[in-house]
Chain A
Amino acid sequence: METLSKVDEIDRIAMRLPSEATFYGTPMYVALAVDADGEAQLPVLLGQQQGLRYFAQYELFSLLCGERAQLAVDGQLRCRGGRVSPEHYLGLWRKALSASLSAQDVYEQRGWTLAVRLAGPLSDALWDGRKSGWTCCPFQTFAAFRTRYANRLEHHGDGRFTVDIDLAEPDGARNAFYGRSLLSSVLGHDGPWSAVLHLVREDLGASQDLSPQRALEEA
């Protein structure tokens, strides 16, 4: 379990993804806890740092029960300074789910951009003739993906690329999901690629948990 020292969670956001974002056929969310950081607000993306962190409702509750709700038992996690039982804490997340926001809402209300950074190798030898494992994937090959993001794909000196896909843009959540799927199915689960959801705060102008260099190092 992630070890957190005293946490004061002042708000929580269940960001609802469009229904076509995945092929699971069930509503998917990105979960954002908002912790107090002195007088400031610190948004925290729930889930393991590596990955898209798209969760079905049952996955979100499993995650909460594995981490934060346990900390509520003895007051290591508080809500707006007050102690809450784990049952009450989970109820707060149910309310957040019932009032879920779109990525656009999150940007408009908080100024927070959620983007998936995909990173991987550009070498044609790795991609030629290889296809996505899913027929519903909007880009069956890396060439198609590269064409779709031609104006935003950043080429790095070491033969690798990164591209940031904003979840608020049309088809952003879907393309991030299937882009990750393409990288995984062609390069292998443990291959030289990464797909990391990160948050950019308009007020700070920087990624909260991922520098561009780190995406490459972690790939």
Chain B
Amino acid sequence: MSYRIEYQWTSFREPAVQGDRFVIAIEGGDNNVWTGSKRARSWSVCMLGSTDQVLRQAVYFAGACEGGGLKPAGRDCSPEAYIRRIRRLVEGMEIPLTGRWYPSIELDEKHPAVQYLAKRGCERRDVVRYGHPLAAYELRESERGLVFDLADEFPDLMAWNLAKVSGLPVS
């Protein structure tokens, strides 16, 4: 059976008046995809939002642990242990890795968030991924808080549709 392995985890804290927001980045990849003699892996933003929003997303992903579909560090893990791992990230008990996150929004062009961004004057660029038309947005630094507004308004959006990371160390 194929499964996802996660190798490294880090969080970025964004202070906000109404409670801190977090961007959780995880380095992971499939167990059966290799680049040469090493399993392929990459960093992506997997969870994003307030503490509660991040934990809800962590619980959702943790559902794959019991059946072996998700293995932190390649080892079996209970959903409870996975949630605790993510909880430590938002409760500041882990030292963040060096790197940065930035807004990078790609949405199905029919998603209501497209209208939401249009009303805010965000500049849209049309892209095609695997034959699927998407609306893409590169926000200015001053607009980065908009990704958290999107997470509030549209909980169906996945974090990797809203932000990316760079500069994080490869395992």
Interface residues of A (CB under 8 A from B): 57-59, 61-66, 69-70, 72-74, 85-87, 90-91
With an 8 A cutoff between CB atoms, is B146 at the interface? no
Contact of B84 with A87 in the complex, beta carbons under 8 Å = yes
- Assess the A59–B62 pair: CB atoms within 8 A: no
Q: A87-B83, A87-B84, A91-B80 are in contact. Are A62 and B66 (CB under 8 A)?
A: yes
Q: Contact check, A73 vs B55: say whether CB atoms are below 8 A apart.
A: yes
Shortest CB-to-CB span from A2 to chain B, Å, is: 13
On whether the beta carbons of B60 and A66 are closer than 8 Å, the reply is yes
Nearest chain A residue, comparing its CB with the CB of B65: A61
A61 and B66 contacting across the interface, CB-CB below 8 Å: yes
CB-based nearest B residue for A1: B60
A-B contact pairs, 29 of them (CB 8 A): A57-B66, A58-B66, A58-B67, A58-B68, A59-B67, A61-B63, A61-B65, A61-B66, A61-B67, A62-B63, A62-B67, A63-B63, A64-B63, A65-B59, A65-B63, A65-B79, A66-B63, A70-B56, A72-B59, A73-B55, A74-B52, A74-B56, A85-B83, A86-B55, A86-B83, A87-B80, A90-B78, A90-B79, A90-B83
Q: Which residue of A lies closest to B80 (CB)?
A: A87
Q: Which residues of B contact A74 (CB under 8 A)?
A: 52, 56
Q: Is B64 an interface residue (CB 8 A)?
A: yes
Nearest CB in chain A to that of B61: its residue: A65
Q: A65-B61, A69-B62, A91-B80 are in contact. List 17 more A-B contacts (CB 8 A).
A: A58-B68, A59-B67, A61-B66, A62-B63, A62-B66, A62-B67, A65-B60, A65-B62, A65-B63, A66-B63, A70-B59, A73-B56, A74-B52, A86-B55, A86-B59, A86-B83, A90-B83
The A-contacting residues of B in range 47-94, CB under 8 angstroms, are: 52, 55-56, 59-68, 78-80, 83-84, 87
Contacts of A61 in B (CB 8 A): 63, 65-67, 79
Q: Residues of B within 8 Å of A, CB-based: how many?
A: 19
- B59 → chain A, closest Cβ, in Å? 5
Q: How far apart are the CA atoms of A217 and B104 in the complex, in Å?
A: 47
- Which residue, B59, B60, B67, has most C-beta atoms of chain A within 10 A? B59
- Which residues of B are at the interface with A, using a C-beta cutoff of 8 A? 52, 55-56, 59-68, 78-80, 83-84, 87
Q: For A69, list chain B residues within 8 Å (CB).
A: 59, 62, 79
A62 contacts which of B64, B80, B84 (Cβ < 8 Å)?
B64
Complex Cα spacing A205 to B52, Å: 41
Determine the distance from Cα of A63 to Cα of B56 in the docked complex, in whole angstroms. 14
CB distance from B103 to the nearest CB of A (A): 25
CB distance from A100 to the nearest CB of B (A): 16
Q: How far is it, in angstroms, between the C-alpha of A59 and the C-alpha of B79 when the chains are bound?
A: 12
Residues of the A chain whose Cβ atoms lie less than 8 Å from the Cβ of B59: 65, 69-70, 72-73, 86
Closest 5 CB pairs of A and B: A65-B63, A58-B67, A61-B66, A62-B63, A87-B80
Given the known interface contacts A61-B66, A62-B67, A87-B84, the answer about A70 and B60 at a Cβ–Cβ threshold of 8 Å is yes
Q: How far is the CB of B4 from chain A (nearest CB, A)?
A: 14
Cα A110 to Cα B63 with chains together (Å): 30
A64 CB to nearest B CB, Å: 7
Residue of B nearest to A64 (CB): B63
Chain B minimum-CB-distance residue to A59: B67
Within 8 Å CB of B64, what residues of A?
62
**Chain A residues, CB < 8 A from B83:** 85-87, 90
B80 to chain A: which residues have CB within 8 Å? 86-87, 90-91
Closest to B53 in A: A73
